[in-house]
């Protein structure tokens, strides 16, 4: 199975409005609620493409209870979330139907105690040795969790011989990279913050020198850039797709991890990741993708680059 970790789970609420205007009242045309946080989005996409997946992290309070209820209705996702006394956060996405743009509001998350963090570590280590073939560490850290938490989780995965992908930002990413994860997947802004360079190619290579074995950078509509020990590649969709980009990066993570566990090479991993990401933009909510668009894009992703000599 593939293990996903979402320390700062959320209830994702999506509003659709005809047009989003500042200082105005809005009539909401549609509301959807989904279990959210980056790792839970990854888990739902992995399950949808046929992988056995276990989701862990924290969930607490009435919002956490609703997240777990909704997760129970997600086929193929095993719930191993750890209870906490604080209340799981909400995230609100407002989709402007006229422009296709999305405005996001993210709450900070519950305060995690030292005892709760210790309990989570025990659960995580048991799951790593209980059949995990790969692990995704995703998203922000809730208050109370040590800033070096992802470095701790990366080292535990490596000690267990489980490939680990890290998708976070800021200081948590900087410390996590130093623990030498197998893959990191920053977007261009997160990569620039990590390396100080806004040129994606040298920044991606610099991130490898900081400890990551492979770096896959999201370039938005332009696709993905990967720097690995085996070579450097760019992968781009055949056309620009408009819609809700929330969760597109999480679908890319699902594509990368699923292809890794299947033993596919880097061009094939990037092709799947780009296709899933593009198909998620068309979907109205994160953690879902349009199967028709996925198949269409997968057959025409442009991959350039080569293996290292």
* Separation CA 162–CA 295 (nearest Å): 30
* Separation CA 69–CA 35 (nearest Å): 9
* Separation CA 251–CA 247 (nearest Å): 6
Catalytic residue, chosen from 12, 96, 182, 250, is: 250
3-state secondary structure of 236: strand
Q: Give 124-127 contacts, CB < 8 A, sequence gap 24+.
A: 124/5, 124/56, 124/153, 124/156, 125/156, 125/160, 127/3, 127/54, 127/56, 127/80
Task: Kindly tell me the sign of the dihedral angle through the C-alpha atoms of 293, 272, 12, 185.
Answer: negative
* Separation CA 15–CA 58 (nearest Å): 25
3-state secondary structure of 77: strand
Bridge partners, 34 (sequence order)? 12
Backbone angles phi, psi at 36, to 5 degrees: -135, -170
Total Cβ atoms within 10 A of residue 282: 18
Say if CB 32 and CB 284 are below 8 A apart.
yes
- For the question of residue 250 being annotated catalytic, the response is yes
**In what side-by-side order are the strands of the sheet with 10-17?**
30-36, 10-17, 89-96, 102-106
Which residues, including other chains, have CB under 8 Å from residue 26's CB and lie 6 or more apart? 15, 17, 18, 20
Q: Which residues are catalytic?
A: 250
């Amino acid at each position: 199975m593939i293990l996903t970790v979402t320390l700062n789970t959320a209830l994702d609420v999506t509003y659709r409005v005809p047009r989003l205007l500042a200082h105005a009242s809005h009539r909401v045309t549609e509301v959807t609620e989904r279990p959210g946080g980056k790792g839970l989005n990854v888990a739902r996409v992995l399950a949808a493409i046929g992988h056995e997946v276990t989701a862990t992290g924290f969930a607490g309070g009435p919002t956490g209870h609703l997240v777990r209820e909704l997760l129970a209705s997600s086929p193929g996702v095993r719930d191993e979330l750890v209870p906490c006394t604080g209340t799981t956060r909400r995230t609100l996405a407002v989709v402007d139907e006229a422009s296709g743009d999305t405005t996001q509001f993210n709450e900070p998350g519950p305060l995690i105690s030292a005892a709760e963090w210790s309990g989570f570590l025990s659960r995580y280590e048991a799951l790593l040795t209980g059949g995990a073939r790969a692990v995704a560490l995703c998203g922000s850290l809730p208050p109370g969790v040590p800033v070096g938490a992802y470095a701790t989780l990366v080292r535990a995965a490596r000690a267990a011989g489980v490939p680990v992908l890290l998708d976070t930002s800021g200081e948590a990413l900087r410390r996590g990279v130093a623990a030498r994860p197998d893959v990191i997947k920053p977007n261009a802004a997160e990569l620039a913050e990590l390396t100080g360079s806004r040129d994606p190619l040298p920044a991606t290579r610099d991130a490898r020198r900081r400890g990551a074995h492979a770096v896959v950078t999201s370039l938005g509509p332009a696709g993905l850039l990967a720097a690995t020990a085996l070579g450097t590649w760019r992968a781009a969709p055949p056309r620009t797709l408009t819609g809700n980009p929330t969760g597109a990066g999480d679908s890319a993570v699902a594509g990368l991890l699923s292809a890794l566990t299947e033993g596919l090479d880097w061009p094939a991993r990037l092709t799947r990741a780009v296709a899933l990401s593009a198909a998620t933009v068309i979907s109205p909510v994160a953690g879902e993708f349009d199967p028709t668009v996925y198949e269409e894009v997968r057959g025409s992703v442009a991959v350039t680059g080569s293996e290292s000599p």
